[in-house]
Chains A and B, each alone.
Chain A
Amino acid sequence: MQFKSFDIVPHGTHIDFVGKRRIAVTLSLLVNLAVILWSLPQIHGLNFGVDFAGGTEMQVKFDNAVDPGEIRRSLEGLGFKDASVQTYGPDSDHAYLIRVGRIALLTQEDVTRIVAAVKAKFPVQGQPHFNPEVGDKIDFEFQTLPAPAELQAAIESAGVRVREIREEAGLTAGSKALAVLTQGIQDRVEKDLFAKFASAKPQVLRVEYVGPAVGRELRNQGFKAILYAMALIVVYVGLRFDFRFSPGVIIALIHDAIITLGYFAFTGREFNLASVAVILTVVGYSVNDTVVVYDRIRENQGKLKGKRLADIVNISINEVLGRTFLTSFATALSLVGLLIFGVGTIFDFAMAMAIGIISGTYSTWFIAAPMTIWLEERTAARKSAPTGAKAA
């Protein structure tokens, strides 16, 4: 028993990919340029998540609908001028992502005020110690330790709520210091939301915070990771095939990475660690189609001696057109569930991945392989140019 099978790309299809490369390259260049420009902070910028921007992020869920604008206004009222509020998941969930740009609630003015208030009442030794990159904690050294309750009263008189006062070992062996932990951002926001939206029963599901310096470092590392991965892949493909193919691979990889980035740039969805994971995966995956085409080009170069490279490339792409399409299609198909049921980061993950996969196939057909010819032609032109120059 045999079913009749069908080909999604009919056998014998002949599309002139090489001939259309100018249009394709121009189009790709324009799109890539648009993504890059749009991603620049001076023009629009990426919506960096808390991983990269630093700050505090809270996922809050309400029992019934709440106006996100109202939440933002109440946050501004608390002194978070840079607060952002985003809907998280379907509207029926009434879930929001709240983001503020710092991790310590205390500002330098608060600290100065507190220190002045404490110094007025107790014999403070040296300069109290505060680090905004670490959190809401001030260390005091005293000649004689005051009672924690009295210290707390003195600090709260400066208008800051104390969460805990802890005795710690002092600087010199045997001396003691008091560490004052003041109310943090989460506590403050939670209390405020509870007071304002009590009827909607706010619930903090998740809190993340990353210090601004850490965020910068993670961002740089992510960028480096993508570059390393690209470099390693290019070297591998070069070793396995021919370094003549490398420029095409590099350009295709950069193209796919930028197109994937474009999803985050143009939708304004959060760009975070998971987004870097997507770009890296796209970079590793999209080269697969390119490998298939290059493999065929190599095979055909042996078989079709005497043909122009441009023709060989065209024939090769057409011969494997079906499979380069189908592999990407099958992989994209596996993401369908995530696109339907995923929320937040996972939806973005699947969406960006799908876009990257499509871009990978496109770049294989129109960019990577034709680029090889273009470079080949240029080299040929260069080789003949010097002799021409001499003659002139």
Chain B
Amino acid sequence: MERTWYWRLALVVAVALLSIWQLVPSWFYFRLPPAERNGPAYEESVPGWSPNAKKHLNLGLDLQGGILLAMGVDVDRAVKAKVARRADEIGDFLKDKGVPVATSAPSADGTRVEVRSSDPKRAEQVVLDSYSAELSAPSGAPDGAVWFAFRPKVIQDFQTKAVEQAEKTIRNRVDKWGVSEPDIKRKANNQIQIQLPGFKDPEKAKELLGRTAQLEFKITDDDSAVLDPVRSELPPCPSGPEGVQLPLPQTGCWMVEGVELPTGIQRQVTFLAASRRQDIEAAIEKDLRPKISRDQDIGIGEVTVGQGPIKEHFYRTYLLRAKTELTGDYISDARASVDNSKGVGEPVVVFTMSPEGGRLMEKLTTENLHRRMATVLDSKVETAPYIQGKISTNGQITLGSGRNYQEKFEEANEIALVLKAGALPAPVTIFEERTVGATLGPELIRSGTVAALVGLAAVMVFMLLYYRGSGLIANVALVENGLLVLAIMSLLGSTLTLPGIAGFVLTLGMAVDANVLINERIREELRAGKTVRQAVDQGYDKVFWTIVDSHVTALVAGVVLMQYGSGPVRGFAVTLIIGLLASMFTSIVVTRVIVDWFTRKDTARLSV
């Protein structure tokens, strides 16, 4: 045999063995009952010698069930909110410039800013001088007032950004969350559809994704004593030598924390705590709400206690000033970082405000120096650090003490994510949430597998009957093709959908096409009186480009389909593309190696 033949044989054998090896994790994955596949049982069951356990075939939402959420980004409302905020800013801006302003508020339909002034002409002039790129002054305003509207392009940009940002935030969250193969896509009507295959806890999904709402900064009202009477109404929280003893009573209980007021005086601030969210909410309604004034608000925060892997949570309240001092959409960036200024590395959160936000932040931090500022996301207090100095465009949040570096860094990351999410200006709401076909999946997998095997068997029987020996060789190549496709799919972590199974079967059918072409050509050459050796060489050589051409055209269709489709249809396109690439290798290289072996002597015969 020629030297190259041994190399080609080595390649064919290596590809086959590597494919099988790559499929080991998938084998162990599908061996487990569906409920345990995404749990720790899977990673434990995979033997040490196998490839990365994370690289296994996944089942699409249509096959394993899961959750589909449709989240709507309400851009109209986001625009109204932008108008309302801008109204306040324009009011302040005009006052700064010495223009008399009676009111500056959104118009009745919420799409314009209406400024009432004794000198509307000048108000219009002053505002447009600075903001004409963004705002126009439409006519039709009532006497003594001027209207400002965002230019259509500004609104459009803003809407697109709102949805994009919501999508990005959701993507970040889901990625961080470690769901296998989430499918997140933006739909035309400002909706974002999230598919979480195999995810079975809609409440958790809702809670985590629902948090992509608005971020606000509020100042804690630590001077107020309105909550102190609670100490006589509710029991104190049970505490042991290691701090709070959980679980806390269902009615809620009180605790105090030492807070240093700007005046330097220490005050014992009362707050409420409970183990469960619904308990604390009930306690707030019953015991706290009646006591607070209109310009006060209660925020709920979550406290994590315990070291290492065993962590417990409880909820606590914060007494806040009701006014939102600043919203998250002024934040341009936030990230976790390490502060080395104190000699030891300390995880912190670093954030940057927009120029406009920087001005507001500076005003806020100057007025409230040494008070605590609560970062409230979706009405939940995420963190409430002291304002230690004046902040304008660049700020830093230092974390509380008592945890190790790793935990602090994780928390810093979490807060950074929250702050970034805060830049999301549009309210995101879950409109639909559903669990797809828990009973449907196994049935579809069964019928899909049977259908695939029947199709495969039909093709193989046909090849064997029609081409005899050469058919058998093509069938060996076909099996390697199937293994290779599945191996590549698991390596890429692709999702197997029902149309994907159909695509898999179809590519197997297409893969033998190449062998049909080759074998027909060999027959033709044999008929023309060539020797077997010559016929084989000519058969493969002359058909090579035909096979490439036919694969390329099918690949073109596959790539276009992948760009267009989503979900199951995309799964089909991916399978088709991988199948076509694999079949070029198996139907040409693999079969050739075997055929060459049997026809190595000039006197050889070939049943074709």
Chain A positions within 8 Å of B, measured between CB atoms, are 1-3, 5, 7-8, 11, 59, 126-127, 129, 131, 133-137, 139, 166-174, 179, 181, 184, 186, 203, 205-207, 209-211, 213-214, 217, 221-222, 224-225, 228-229, 232-233, 236-237, 240, 273-274, 276-277, 280-281, 283-285, 287-288, 291-292, 295, 299, 319-320, 322-323, 326-327, 329-338, 340-343, 345-346, 349-350, 353
Contacts and interface: CB of A to CB of B under 8 A. Distances in A.
Contacts of A186: 432, 434
Given A8-B466, A171-B77, A284-B556, A334 B505 contact: yes
A363 to B, nearest CB: 14
Contacts of A2: 605, 607
Given A274-B499, A281-B506, A131 B76 contact: yes
A323 B506 contact: no
B293 interface: no
Contacts of A171: 77, 80-81, 83-84, 106, 110
Given A168-B427, A240-B549, A330-B462, A323 B517 contact: yes
Nearest first, the 4 closest Cβ-Cβ pairs linking A and B are A284-B557, A334-B509, A337-B454, A337-B451
A237 B556 CA distance: 12
B302 to A, nearest CB: 18
A1 to B, nearest CB: 8
Contact of B506 (A134, A181, A203, A353): A353
Contacts of A229: 556-557, 560-561
Interface string B501-545: 010011011101100110011011001000000000000001001
B422 to A, nearest CB: 11
Interface stretch (B142-150, B322-330, B336-344, B385-393): B322-330
Given A327-B517, A343-B447, A284 B558 contact: yes
Contact of A134 (B80, B81, B431, B499): B431
Interface of B is mostly: helix
Nearest to B514: A327
A346 B324 contact: no
A225 B563 contact: yes
Nearest to B608: A5
Given A173-B216, A186-B432, 10 more contacts: A5-B467, A169-B216, A173-B84, A181-B429, A221-B564, A277-B561, A292-B546, A320-B520, A338-B502, A341-B454
Given A172-B81, A214-B189, A331-B510, A291 B109 contact: no
Interface string B457-485: 01100110011110000000000000000
Contact of A287 (B189, B448, B550): B550
B552 interface: yes
A171 B566 CA distance: 34
A166 B505 CA distance: 48
A203 B74 CA distance: 32
7 contacts: A139-B77, A173-B84, A210-B187, A229-B557, A280-B557, A281-B561, A284-B553
A207 B468 contact: no
Contacts of B558: 280-281, 284
Nearest to A228: B560
Contacts of A350: 502
Contacts of B213: 168-169
A292 B517 contact: yes
Interface string B77-111: 10011011101100000000000000000101110
B84 A134 contact: no
B397 interface: no
B573 interface: yes
Interface of A is mostly: helix
A223 to B, nearest CB: 10
Given A173-B88, A337-B452, A277 B520 contact: no
Given A280-B557, A338-B451, A134 B189 contact: yes
Contacts of B466: 5, 8, 326
B451 A340 contact: yes
A135 B431 contact: yes
Tell which of A136, A207, A326 has the most Cβ of chain B within 10 Å.
A326
A225 B214 CA distance: 38
B455 interface: yes
B553 A233 contact: yes
B440 interface: yes
A48 to B, nearest CB: 15
A95 to B, nearest CB: 10
Contact of A284 (B427, B469, B505, B555): B555
A167 B380 CA distance: 12
Given A129-B77, A171-B81, A291-B549, A134 B72 contact: yes
A206 to B, nearest CB: 5
Contacts of B508: 334
Nearest to B506: A334
Given A5-B467, A214-B189, A323-B520, A281 B447 contact: no
B569 A274 contact: yes
B456 interface: yes
Contact of B437 (A170, A205, A225, A338): A205
Given A225-B563, A281-B554, A331-B509, A129 B74 contact: yes
A221 B569 CA distance: 14
B188 interface: yes
Contacts of B110: 126-127, 171
Contacts of A133: 189
Contacts of A173: 84-85, 88, 216, 324, 326-327
Contacts of A209: 70, 432
Given A277-B561, A346-B498, A172 B85 contact: yes
Tell which of B427, B429, B553, B564 has the most Cβ of chain A within 10 Å.
B553
B565 A232 contact: no
Contacts of A214: 187-189, 191
A289 to B, nearest CB: 8
A172 to B, nearest CB: 4
B456 A283 contact: no
B199 interface: no
A211 B188 CA distance: 9
Contact of A335 (B505, B512, B516): B505
Nearest to B512: A330
Contact of B509 (A179, A333, A349): A333
Nearest to B376: A169
A179 B378 CA distance: 14
Contact of B545 (A166, A233, A295): A295
Contacts of B83: 171
Contacts of B436: 206-207
